[in-house]
């Protein structure tokens, strides 16, 4: 999905006040963190089925919101133009660089230093909550998150949140605010696995913030989601590769 004309002009769209636009943007920034807290932390000890329902409902509201807002309130036609190559080389370079850097950092620093060891049992528990107990199921989950979920996150955080913020403030500020919003719910996930005061938590938090800022910048520059999506896909694939190394002795091949 790319539509550089939809959000290229600063200021609220026709028929929508700046106050209403600001309110929906604040909600869009806060909601993913709230739902992450519910299904990931508050329901951590609940039955897997309940966790899955909470997750599904939260994600459904999150990813439907942009379409409803743009189509029904801004009254703009949603467009799905053909793929644009702009941004793909930069996205590929950034994604491959982080992919390689993540694996090197894990094998040469984080794993030998034992920073991720305390998270292994928690990771296994979360995977088990999704009833995944084989290598192939884990791989399928990895493909889904790396391909489908990564695209949905780019559509939500860059096409919607960043684009609407760009109507309300200068581009640099919109990049910064959208990157912070994108990072917030990741902090909850990271602290759940590694603890609030772990080096890993804040190292990965900074990495997420840098990624969010880069993808917003790339979307602004290219007018296309394909570059950020490709980059995001590669980085998520690296995360699942690290996750597999943490739990490979437990999964059934």
Whether pLDDT at 1 is above 60: no
What percentage of residues in the chain have a pLDDT greater than 70? 89
| Predicted local confidence at residue 14, as pLDDT | 60
pLDDT band of 4, cuts 50, 70, 90: very low
pLDDT band of 250, cuts 50, 70, 90: low
| Predicted local confidence at residue 160, as pLDDT | 96
Cα(253)–Cα(248) distance, rounded to whole angstroms? 9
Nearest partner of 228 among 100, 93, 63, 102, judged by Cα: 93
Q: Which 3-state string (H, E, C) describes 123-136? A: HHHHHHHCCCCEHH
pLDDT band of 6, cuts 50, 70, 90: low
| 55-89 pLDDT, tens digit each | 999 999 999 999 999 999 998 877 655 456 789 99
Nearest partner of 203 among 127, 101, 123, 131, judged by Cα: 101
**Span between the terminal Cα atoms of the chain, in Å:** 37
pLDDT band of 35, cuts 50, 70, 90: very high
Packed helices 226-247 and 88-105: angle between N→C axes, nearest 10 degrees: 20
Residue with the bigger pLDDT between 109 and 205: it is 205
Whether pLDDT at 253 is above 60: no
pLDDT band of 129, cuts 50, 70, 90: confident
pLDDT band of 130, cuts 50, 70, 90: confident
Secondary structure of residue 190 in the 3-state scheme:
helix
| Predicted local confidence at residue 2, as pLDDT | 43
HSE, side-chain direction, 13 A CA sphere, residue 218: 30
Cα(73)–Cα(64) distance, rounded to whole angstroms? 13
Using only C-alpha atoms, the chain has a radius of gyration, in whole angstroms, of 19
| Predicted local confidence at residue 135, as pLDDT | 82
This prediction has a pTM of 0.90
| Predicted local confidence at residue 221, as pLDDT | 94
Mean pLDDT computed over every residue of the chain: 88
| Predicted local confidence at residue 170, as pLDDT | 97
> Domain map of the chain by residue range?
86-247
Out of 59-68, 71-80, 173-182, 237-246, least confident range: 71-80
Mean pLDDT of 176-193: 95
């Amino acid at each position: 999905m790319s539509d550089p004309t939809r959000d290229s002009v600063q200021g609220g769209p026709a028929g929508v006040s700046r106050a209403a636009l600001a309110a929906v943007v604040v909600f869009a920034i806060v909601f993913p963190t709230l739902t992450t807290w519910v299904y990931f932390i508050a329901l951590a000890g609940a039955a897997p089925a309940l966790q899955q329902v909470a997750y599904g409902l939260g994600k459904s509201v999150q990813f439907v919101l942009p379409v409803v807002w743009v189509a029904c309130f801004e009254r703009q036609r949603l467009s799905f133009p053909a793929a644009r190559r702009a941004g793909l080389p930069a996205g590929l370079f950034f994604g491959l660089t982080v992919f390689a850097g993540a694996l090197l950092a894990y094998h040469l620093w984080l794993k030998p230093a034992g920073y991720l060891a305390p998270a292994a049992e928690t990771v296994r528990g979360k995977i088990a909550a999704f009833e995944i107990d084989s290598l192939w199921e884990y791989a399928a989950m990895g493909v889904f998150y790396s391909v489908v979920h990564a695209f949905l996150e780019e559509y939500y955080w860059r096409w919607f949140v960043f684009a609407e913020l760009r109507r309300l403030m200068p581009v640099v500020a919109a990049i910064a605010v959208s990157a912070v919003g994108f990072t917030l719910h990741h902090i909850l996930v990271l602290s759940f696995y590694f603890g609030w005061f772990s080096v890993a938590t804040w190292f990965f938090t900074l990495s997420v913030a840098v990624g969010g800022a880069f993808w917003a910048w790339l979307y602004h520059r290219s007018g296309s989601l394909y570059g950020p999506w490709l980059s995001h896909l590669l980085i998520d694939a690296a995360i699942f590769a690290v996750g597999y190394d943490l739990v490979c002795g437990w999964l059934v091949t």
